[in-house]
Amino acid sequence: MKLPVWVWLAILALLILAIVAAAASNSADETETTGATTTSAVAPVDTSAAETTTVVETSAVETTIAETTVAETTAATTTTAAPTTTIAATTTTIPPAPIVFNGSGNDVVDIGAENTRFVLQASHDGTSNFQVELLDTALQPIDFPVNAIGPYTGTVVMSITNGRYLQVTADGNWSLQLIDASTLPVAGDTFNGAGDSVVLYNGTSGIFQITHDGQSNFQVVLHDVTTGAPTAFVVNEIGNYTGRNPIASGPVLVAVVADGNWTFAKS
């Protein structure tokens, strides 16, 4: 069949339009594909850089935090403790209390088999004879520490070895006290007193000027501080006395038997 010319022209025009449309479509697809590809290529690079930067900054922050923690821990560990103050305890020695016996008239008291105290303080308010004798366990006299008339107050040293009883002869009230030698008054280079007395001398040996203004027996005897045993007889006179006599270095007990005033002065 033979078509008219204008039909062929119309068909050709349609074909040309179809080809142009197809070419345009292909060009658009290629452009979009190329743009997507380019974008895809660039994006990984930017993302990688961002990620790398983030990792580095996080690591730096963590490192700083770790270093700060270590510094704070070290500072806490090296804190200096407050100094400790030590207060020394003070020890106070309490002198032993005396052993006391009180009575009236004639009597015998038991001072005990284990007694080691040899210093006796005695007092009497009667008007007649006042005597104190030391007896052993068999009631035999072994020392005669006190022998006075009327009222009496004095301190004497007894030979306590084997002593067990004190026999008292009196017409009035009396008191007997066994005291520890450590409680005796301490004498210096000059000391004085009246009647029967015992002092503790801790000084050096020397010559003492000694006086007594009484009328009866005047004795000065040195005794051992731990046993009471006599170590030296310094004076044994009757009535008034003035003289220079040696006293050994202390510690030593100085026992004075007198009925008047007496003085000691180191010269």
Q: What would the mean pLDDT of 140-160 be, rounded to a whole number?
A: 96
Q: Which long-range contacts (CB under 8 A, 24 or more apart) does 27-31 make?
A: none
Higher pLDDT among residues 226 and 78, named by residue? 226
Residue 63 vs residue 257, higher pLDDT? 257
What pLDDT score was predicted for residue 1?
Answer: 52
Please give the pLDDT value at position 24: 59
Residues 6+ away with beta carbon under 8 Å from 150: 124, 126, 127, 128, 130
pLDDT of residue 12: 74
Look at residue 58 and tell me whether its pLDDT is greater than 50: no
- 42 or 23, which is more confident? 23
- CA dist 33 to 28, 39, 72, 134, 164, Å? 9, 10, 58, 140, 135
Query: pLDDT, tens digit, for every residue of 68-110?
Result: 443 444 444 455 555 665 565 666 678 889 999 999 999 999 9
Dihedral sign computed on CA atoms, order 32, 34, 36, 42: negative
* Max Cα-Cα span within the chain: 196
How much is the average pLDDT of 132-147? 96
Q: 48 falls in which pLDDT band (50, 70, 90)?
A: very low
Q: What is the predicted pLDDT for the residue at 64?
A: 43
**pTM here?**
0.65
CA-based nearest residue to 153, from 181, 111, 115, 120: 120
- For 4, 5, 60, 129, 163, the CA distances from 103, given in Å and listed in that order, are 180, 179, 101, 15, 20
Residue 21: predicted pLDDT: 67
Output 40 or 207, whichever has higher pLDDT. Answer: 207
Task: Tell me what percent of the residues of the chain surpass a pLDDT of 90.
Answer: 63
Q: In what order do the strands lie in the sheet with 241-247?
A: 190-194, 261-266, 206-212, 241-247
Q: Looking at residue 266, what is its pLDDT?
A: 97
Mean pLDDT (whole number) for 200-210: 97
- 235-253, pLDDT tens digit by residue? 999 999 999 999 999 999 9
Write out pLDDT tens, residues 175-202: 999 999 999 999 999 999 999 999 999 9
Instruction: Please check the confidence at residue 63 and state whether its pLDDT lies above 60.
Output: no
pLDDT in tens, 124-137: 999 999 999 999 99
What does the pLDDT read at residue 20?
63
